[in-house]
Amino acid sequence: MSAAVSAALMFNLVCSGYADTLSGAKPGRAAFEATIILDLKHKQWCLYEKGQACRYVAHIKHVSPYFIVLEKQNDRFNEKDNKRYRFINRVNGSYGFKQQNAAFSAFTGAGCAKQPFSGFPEPVF
């Protein structure tokens, strides 16, 4: 794979914006900073929030010329509807994360800048 093709398919996004808790125990707004590592060829991603390590490498749900859907979940757990939708808008460079259940609702929005691919964390075993 050429370096140009690798750079188009494997890259980091450095994002900053706000996380808004709209309902639940502690509504409010907090600053959000994160690095998202993306490998579109193998459909993998990992999120490093400020001050935290990547907890796991996950599968990308969908890639199109305009959007990357990282996570889309609509589950019923403990009699609650848990909804999570995490995406990247490839046209304007924005990141969004919506999550909601019967007791909680939140949205994170951020602008992102493309950076060189740093690689995923090495497995422990």
Residue 124 lies in a domain: no
Residue 49 lies in a domain: yes
The CA distance from 56 to 120, in Å, is 9
> Which pTM was predicted?
0.86
pLDDT reported for residue 23: 82
pLDDT values of the chain reduced to their tens digit, one per residue, 125 residues: 566 666 789 999 999 999 998 887 788 999 999 999 999 999 999 999 888 888 889 999 999 999 999 999 876 555 567 889 999 999 999 999 999 887 888 999 999 999 999 999 888 88
Contact assessment for residue 60 and residue 71, using Cβ atoms and an 8 Å cutoff = no
Strands 80-89 and 44-49, by their bridges, are: unpaired
Within-domain flag for 123: no
Number of domains in the chain: 1
Give residue 33's pLDDT: 96
CATH number (domain holding residue 107) = 2.40.160
Is 21 inside a domain boundary? Answer: yes
Could you tell me the CA-to-CA distances from 64 to 5, 82, 87 in Å, in that order?
16, 25, 11
H helices present in the chain, as ranges: 3-9
Q: Is residue 13 part of a domain?
A: yes
Range of the domain at 40: 3-115
In a domain, 78, yes or no: yes
Rounded CA-CA distance 87/71 in Å is 7
Model pLDDT, residue 78: 55
Sequence-separated (6 or more) residues with CB below 8 Å from residue 10: 38, 39, 40, 41, 117
- Residue 68, domain member (yes or no): yes
